[in-house]
Amino acid sequence: MATQQAEKDQNERDVQTSAPETKRDRVRRLLIDPLRKNGFRFKHGTAPEAQQKALDRIADDLGYMSDRHLSVLAASLATKGEGSSRNFWPGYATIIGLAEAFQPRPLEGWPALVSWFGSAAGAQALAGNRLLAEFQFFQQKKRPPLSDQDRNAIAARAEDHQRQFELITDRERRGVMRDGDQRWLDWYERELACVEALVRGAQ
């Protein structure tokens, strides 16, 4: 009987080990668990349910990050604990803001902004040949352009994109492409296709 139970326990462990790691589990392994081992804890009186909810939120919102960036983020946060002993978890805004600095969240991860590209404004940006420039603005600011300064900056970047595209395609046609030209062209076409898909998918 004891042998059968031992085999059952081992089988259960094997199943758990072979189960694919979720994004939430990966963030826990690379970010949350190392910080816990370094002594990070919640302030006295924080309910266990609130603690779990806060850590789950972090794990879910940082699931887009690469392994390398999660490890770098963990190392950086280890020096940013709160309290007199510097061992309380930093606030959510601190963690997410630092994560954005290391690896910005892809635009697709912001539903409210994705909906903007599916609106009339997105179609206008496409027609005005400034779609990629607005995409980059959103990637950086996580908001639509709100002022003439924002719109002028986007227009200037769109002109730079168009000028660079024309220069490179001209060199390609003449067979005199320079180092980096093909890499830039591949990036430009890939990014533009991504944003165009957001706009056309809503039409």
Is residue 117 a contact partner of residue 198, using CB atoms and an 8 Å limit? yes
Band (2; pLDDT cuts 50, 70, 90): very low
pLDDT digits (tens, 9 = 90+) for 43-52: 999 999 999 9
Tokens of 137: 């603005």
- SS3 for 88? strand
Phi, psi of 82 (to 5 degrees): -100, 170
Average pLDDT over residues 3-7: 51
Cα 45–chain centre separation: 32
Asked whether residue 118 carries a pLDDT value surpassing 60, the answer given is yes
What local confidence, expressed as pLDDT, does residue 48 receive?
93
Tell me the pTM. Answer: 0.54
pLDDT digits (tens, 9 = 90+) for 14-26: 445 557 889 899 9
Asked whether residue 108 carries a pLDDT value surpassing 70, the answer given is no
Average confidence score pLDDT of the chain = 85
Is residue 99 a contact partner of residue 160, using CB atoms and an 8 Å limit? no
What local confidence, expressed as pLDDT, does residue 200 receive?
74
Is residue 161 a contact partner of residue 148, using CB atoms and an 8 Å limit? no
Asked whether residue 139 carries a pLDDT value surpassing 80, the answer given is no
What local confidence, expressed as pLDDT, does residue 161 receive?
95
Residue for token digits 């994560």? 99
Asked whether residue 37 carries a pLDDT value surpassing 60, the answer given is yes
Tokens of 48: 């266990």
